[in-house]
Amino acid sequence: MPERLPIPIKIEVNLAWNVTRTRSGMLVGSCEPLGLVSEGKDEFDLSQNIQESLQLVMNELLRSGELDGFLRSHGWRASALPVGPTKARVPFEVPFQLIRQAQSDSARAAN
């Protein structure tokens, strides 16, 4: 019998990631509510890295038993959370959007 994959936990939020381009051309995204920063060579790469960061953060909160409190403190909700801490890696669906920031005057002067 094939192994059943865990059902994703859907987080009801739409996180904004502010994105800027570095002098070297990399994209850097920052998410204030989570205190996270991620980078990528293009939007696809950045989105993949953000998704992996979100999976790691949410799974760590779930493992430690702090996810429910964290979500409530941010005004977010989740579909069917497991009862109590778990060591299994669970997939999360955390919607996010990339928001391009205007290039700063100092960055434009450097180009």
Domain assignment present for residue 75? The answer is: yes
Residue 15 near residue 33 (C-beta atoms within 8 A)? yes
Range(s) of the domain holding residue 70 = 9-102
Q: What is the pLDDT of residues 12-60, one digit of tens each?
A: 998 999 999 999 999 999 999 999 999 999 999 999 999 999 999 999 9
The pLDDT score that the predictor gives to residue 104 is 53
Type of residue numbered 100 = R
Q: How far apart are CA 70 and CA 76, in angstroms?
A: 8
Domain assignment present for residue 92? The answer is: yes
Q: What is the pLDDT of residues 54-104, one digit of tens each?
A: 999 999 999 988 999 999 999 999 988 877 667 788 999 999 999 999 765
The token duo for 47 is 């989105």
Domain assignment present for residue 4? The answer is: no
The token duo for 55 is 């999976």
Domain assignment present for residue 63? The answer is: yes
Average pLDDT, the chain: 87
Domain assignment present for residue 3? The answer is: no
pTM for this predicted structure: 0.83
Place of tokens 């950045």: 46
CATH number at residue 48: 3.30.160
The token duo for 78 is 């989740």
The pLDDT score that the predictor gives to residue 3 is 52
Structural domains counted in the chain: 1
